[in-house]
Amino acid sequence: MTDQMFSTRRLSEILAILLVFVAVPGRAQDSTAAHRGRGRIVVLMVWDGLRPDFVTQRDTPNLYRLAREGVRFDRHHSIFPTLTMVNATALATGAPPSVNGLEGNVFYLEPSADTPASVSNISPFEAKPGAPTIAKDAQGRMVWTEGARAIVNLNGADGFKGRLIGLDTITQEVAREGGYVSVIGKQGPTSVFDNRVETVVDGKDILGEPHKDYLFASDDLVEPKAVSQKISSAMPPDSKTAIADEQRDLYFERLVVEDAIPSAKRAADAGRPALVVFWQHNPDLTQHIAGLGTLPAMEALTLCDNNLARLRAAIDALGIADKTDLIVVSDHGFATIKFRIILSEMLVSAGIKKSHDSTDVIVAPNGGADLIYLSPTEFPTPQARRAVLQKIVNFAEAQEWCGPIFSRESAIAPAERSRRGRIQRAPKPYLGWIDGTFSQRVVGLYNPARSPDLVISFREEPDADNKGLTGPGNPAFLIGGTGQVSTRNKSAELVHPVKGLMYEDSGTSQTFTTGMGMHGAAGEREIHNFCAAIGPDFRRGFVDLNPTANTDVAPTITQILGVLPNIGPGGLAPAGRAMAEALTDGRHGAGGSHTQTMTTDLMLQGVEAVTTIRVSWIGDEPYLDSSTVEHKPLGSSP
C-alpha cells in the first residue's frame, strides 16, 4: 500500500472520528421506503477463547463437521488487544476500538467531556482483582468491564445514558426493526450486546428506541423482570474450579434451546428478523485455570461441542434449518504463560512511576497487553508527556518480555514535530509519536476521548511449546519490582504439549501463574481465532481465504437479516465489511488483499530493538496478522 493511500485513509478516519462530536439530533434515516426485515434467524454462538488449531475431528467433531459442510474462515482475526470485552464490542458493533471506544477488559476513564461527572459514583465500578487501586482525587476511575453489571451500570441514567459505546449494537438494530433478540451467557460480553436492556420501560430503552420482544440472561442480570426470578433461581451456582462454569454453560444452552430458539421461530414465521447470541464461558475459563493441553481444557472443548450438537438438533427439530444461519466464532486465541510481569512495580523500581498505586503513571493490566495513562496534572505539557513516555518505551523495549508498543496521537504542534525530525523522517506514516512505537491508528485503536497514551503488548513466542511449563511440578516465575522470583505453579497436569508461549501482566492478583493460559497480546496464537458458518445464506463446502475479522461479523448479520446498517451519533458507522464472498447471494469475492510489513527500531544501550508487525488489507480495512521483536547488537543491521 502506498504512503498516499495510507494518508488518505488516515484523513478519512480523522473525519469519521470528528463526526462523533457533532451534535446531530436523532438517528440518520434511510431515505428510501420504510424498511421491512426478512423472516430470517441468525444464531451467533461464541466459544470464548477457542483457537482454530483446537478444532479437530477427534476433539470437536461437531464443530469440525460444521466448518466443512458450510464456510470455514481460514484467515479470521481477533481485534487487538485480543481481549474478551474488546472483541465482544467488535462482534456486537462491527467497529474497532477507535470507533466504539472500549479498549480493554480493564481501562481507565479519564476526566473528560466524554465522561459524565456522575460516573465516579456508579456502583459496582470495581477494578479487576490485582489491578492498582486508583485514588479518588485522580477524578478518574479504573474499570473492570467484566465485573458484575459494569457495562449496564455505566450505560444507565447516571452514566453514559445509552452511549457508552460509540454506536448501537446489532442486537439493538434488530430490536429497532421490530425483531426478536435473545442474548444469553457469560457476564460482561453479553452486556455489551444489549447494553441498554436494563433501561427498557414500556417497550422502549433509554434512548427511546423500540425494545419489546427479547430475553437477556447472563450470570449477573436477567431481563425482562417478568422472567427474571424464574431464570435466576434455576441458574446453577457460579463455579471457578474443575471445568469452569460447566453447569452454567449447560444451563444457558438449555435456555437457548428451550426458550430462545422457539421464540426466534415465532418471530421468523411472522416475517420478522431474529437474532440469538449464545456466549459460552468455555473453553476460556478452563484454559485460564488449568492451562492449554490439559485434560480439563480438552473436556471443556467437548462440553462446547456437545452444546453445539444440541443446538443444531433443536434447529432441525423445529423445522427451521432452511431459515436459520448459524455462525460459530471465538473472541480471541490463547497462549501459555511463560512469565508473569508486574509492570507497575517495575516502573516504580526504574524511577519512572512514584508508587504502585500512584496516579502519575497509571497502568491498567490486561493480561497480554497493558494500557498506560499519564496524569494531565503531573505532565501538563506535550513535551513533559513525551519525555516520560519515551522513558517508559526505552525501559520496556530493553526487556525480553516486551512486544510491539502503540502510542496515541501527538499533541505537539506540527512545526515542533517538524523540528524534531518526525515529519521529515522516513516516509512511514505508521510510526507512532514516541520513538520505537507504532501509531494506534494502524490497528484501529486511536479514539481521541478514550485512548491510553501507550498500549504495550507483551511478547509471544508462537512456535515454542509448554512442555516444562504447564503442570504443578514445574517452576513458575514472576518478574516484579524486586526482580525475578519463583512462585507456585497452579496449572494442571499436561496431557500433550501446545505451541505458543507469552509474557503477561495480571497485576498483583495471585490467580495466574506460569503454565496457565492467557491472551491479550499481538502474537499470532492470540490474534488468529476461529470462525465458521452454515445455513441457507452461506455457501456450502467453502473455505474463505480472504482475511476476515470479528468486526466483519455484525455487518454480515445485518446483510443476512435485512436490517438497516447501524448509524450512530453524528453519522458514525462501523468499519467492518460484510463477508460477501461467503454468502449465496451471488456477490462473491471481496477484492484482492495484500500484506504490509511495518517495522520500528529503537537504539538502546548496546542493542537495537527491532519490532515488526504484519498487517493484511482488504481495501481500507486492516487485519493485524502477527508481530515479532528482535534485539540486535548495534552495528549488525545492514
What are the φ and ψ backbone dihedral angles of 292, each rounded to 5 degrees? Answer: -75, 145
Sign of the torsion angle spanned by Cα atoms 515, 521, 525, 528? positive
Instruction: Determine how many CB atoms are found less than 10 A away from the CB of residue 11.
Output: 10
Cβ–Cβ < 8 Å for 210, 178: yes
Burial class (CB in 10 A: 0-12, 13-18, 19+), 33: exposed
Strand stretches in 87-187, DSSP E: 106-109, 141-144, 180-185
558 Cβ partners below 8 Å, 6+ apart? 94, 170, 173, 564, 565, 566, 578
- The helix (run of H) or strand (run of E) holding residue 439 is strand 438-439
* Rounded Cα gap, residues 629 and 238, in angstroms: 40
* Rounded Cα gap, residues 430 and 587, in angstroms: 33
* Rounded Cα gap, residues 355 and 371, in angstroms: 17
Q: So what's the pLDDT on residue 28?
A: 33
* Rounded Cα gap, residues 72 and 54, in angstroms: 14
Q: So what's the pLDDT on residue 422?
A: 36
Q: So what's the pLDDT on residue 570?
A: 57
Task: Give the residue carrying C-alpha cell 461479523.
Answer: 553
What are the φ and ψ backbone dihedral angles of 75, each rounded to 5 degrees? Answer: -125, 50
DSSP letter for each residue of 332-351: ---EEEEEEE-HHHHHHHTT
Q: So what's the pLDDT on residue 566?
A: 65
Q: So what's the pLDDT on residue 125?
A: 42
- Rounded to 5°, the CA angle 99-521-110 comes to 45
Alpha helices in 58-202 (DSSP H): 61-69, 84-93, 97-100, 150-154, 170-176, 189-193
Q: So what's the pLDDT on residue 6?
A: 37
490 Cβ partners below 8 Å, 6+ apart? 289, 472, 476, 512, 513, 515, 516
Q: How far is CA 430 from the centre of its chain?
A: 22
Q: So what's the pLDDT on residue 409?
A: 83
Segments of the chain with pLDDT less than 70: 1-37, 111-114, 117-139, 239-244, 411-427, 565-573, 586-591, 635-638
Selected from 3.30.160, 3.30.1360, 3.30.1460, 3.40.50, the CATH number assigned to the domain covering 337-460 reads: 3.30.1360
Query: Residue 514, by phi and psi: left (phi above 0), alpha (psi -120 to 50) or beta?
Result: beta
DSSP 260: I
Alpha helices in 72-196 (DSSP H): 84-93, 97-100, 150-154, 170-176, 189-193
Q: So what's the pLDDT on residue 9?
A: 40
Q: So what's the pLDDT on residue 606?
A: 82
Q: Would you list the domain boundaries of the chain?
A: 35-105+145-333+528-582, 337-460, 462-518
User: Could you tell me the three cell numbers for 610?
Assistant: 527491532
Task: Provide the percentage of residues in the chain whose pLDDT is more than 90.
Answer: 73
User: Could you tell me the three cell numbers for 593?
Assistant: 488483499
Cβ–Cβ < 8 Å for 563, 179: yes
* Rounded Cα gap, residues 287 and 294, in angstroms: 8
Q: In what order do the strands lie in the sheet with 214-218?
A: 222-223, 214-218, 180-185, 274-283, 41-48, 324-329, 531-534, 71-73, 542-544
* Rounded Cα gap, residues 78 and 91, in angstroms: 10
Instruction: Determine how many CB atoms are found less than 10 A away from the CB of residue 259.
Output: 17
Q: List the end-to-end C-alpha distance of the chain, in Å, as a whole number.
A: 24
Cβ–Cβ < 8 Å for 463, 262: no
* Rounded Cα gap, residues 110 and 408, in angstroms: 15
Instruction: Please name which of 241, 474, 242 lies closest in space to residue 338, comparing C-alpha atoms.
Output: 474
Q: So what's the pLDDT on residue 3?
A: 41
pLDDT (tens digit, 9 = 90+) per residue, 320-349?
Answer: 999 999 999 999 999 999 999 999 999 999
Q: What is the CATH number of domain 35-105+145-333+528-582?
A: 3.40.720.10
Strand partners, 294: 494
Strand partners, 420: none
